[in-house]
Structure 1
């Protein structure tokens, strides 16, 4: 089975500048804009915003 093009794999990069990344999937039809999630950054030892990079 082929993977759906509606749910691409996206990389989330920390806005704290530590270089930490998360990998997730998103629904392109429901979220056409870049994804922003608040997740834990172990280098900064705090929850910070992670933004989608292309």
Structure 2
């Protein structure tokens, strides 16, 4: 039963589109969000908010 719950919310890596190589690690609900997620988050290397895209 616990294995089924982990499959629904896998761990994904979000990488900065600014090219700094900075990454965030988060979880997403695979049932509700099928496509790759894009979030606007803070990149401390360039000190501004940029888009972070999901990598595989």
| TM-score relative to the length of structure 1 | 0.93
| Max Rg structure | 2
- Unaligned regions of 5+ residues in structure 2, if any? none
- Number of residue equivalences: 54
Structure with bigger helix share is 2
- Unaligned regions of 5+ residues in structure 1, if any? none
Q: Which residue of 1 aligns with 2:38?
A: 36
CA RMSD after TM alignment: 1.0
